[in-house]
Amino acid sequence: MEWYSRTQLLVGEEGVNKLRNSHVLVVGLGGVGAYAAEQLARAGIGKMTIIDSDTVNITNKNRQLLALDSTIGRAKVDVMAERIRDINPDVEVVAINQYLKDQPIIDLMEQPFDFVVDAIDTLAPKVFLLYYAVQNKQNIVSCMGAGGKFNPEMIQIADISKSYNCRLAFYIRKRLHRLGVREGITVVFSPEKVADKAVTVEEEQTDNKVATVGTISYMPAIFGCFCASHVINSILSRD
């Protein structure tokens, strides 16, 4: 019996072939992106490009799939690639250890992906990626802020123009508006209010981040699963 037999029972042989013949890009392999990538791999996506420049840190252990004592200090793309290949030995994995910005994002968005998952957690490259995804008519789902949230029942999938009560989504919409983009990007977001005590503002900005937001174990995982579900269902619904 094939490892994907339970999937085939649900989506049929045609559905399995659609997933197997698809190429999905996942940018960012933190709390959200790694879970999204794993669900895509387990669904049988045939080719995956995964991108991240970070290494596993001990502070990742409370919420990130890749964070174990045995993986501390290792590149996230390497750990993720191993997991994906261990799930599906037939999958083609392109693992890129790179911090994306500027021209590399433009070049990347000109490639013919079937779907893009944006799980970047820094504002400037996230906006840049989303803008050029729209310009190149990429099918994309973007994760908004999962930090500081507790209630999974409030998570939604909607066009970015319909997102609300999410600080990250607000700043992204504001920057995209300046670039002439107001809609056409599917996002996963939660309007749940973030408590002030959950945010620690840093005096010195590092790695383009201005604050540290408290996060509970399950929320990034659920955000990632929502992203993966949108990709999988979109691929299966195609003619």
Range of the domain at 60: 5-236
Mean pLDDT, the chain, rounded, equals 94
pLDDT tens figures, 142-170: 999 999 999 999 999 999 999 999 999 99
| Averaged pLDDT for residues 116-121 | 97
| Averaged pLDDT for residues 64-87 | 98
CATH number at residue 14: 3.40.50.720
Q: Please say if the pLDDT value at position 212 is more than 90.
A: no
pLDDT tens figures, 175-202: 999 999 999 999 999 999 998 888 876 6
Neighbours of 97 (CB within 10 A): 15
Q: Are 23 and 70 in contact (CB under 8 A)?
A: no
Q: Please say if the pLDDT value at position 206 is more than 80.
A: no
The band of 91, judged by pLDDT with boundaries at 50, 70 and 90, is: very high
Q: How many domains does the chain have?
A: 1
Q: 25 has which bridge partners?
A: 49, 116
pLDDT tens figures, 36-62: 999 999 999 999 999 999 999 999 999
Tell me the whole-structure pTM to 2 decimals. Answer: 0.94
Q: Please say if the pLDDT value at position 205 is more than 90.
A: no
Encoding tokens for residue 134?
A: 């729209």
Angle at CA 111, nearest 5°, toward 108 and 13? 125
The band of 221, judged by pLDDT with boundaries at 50, 70 and 90, is: very high
Least confident of 91-100, 102-111, 198-207, 209-218: 198-207
Q: Are 16 and 44 in contact (CB under 8 A)?
A: yes
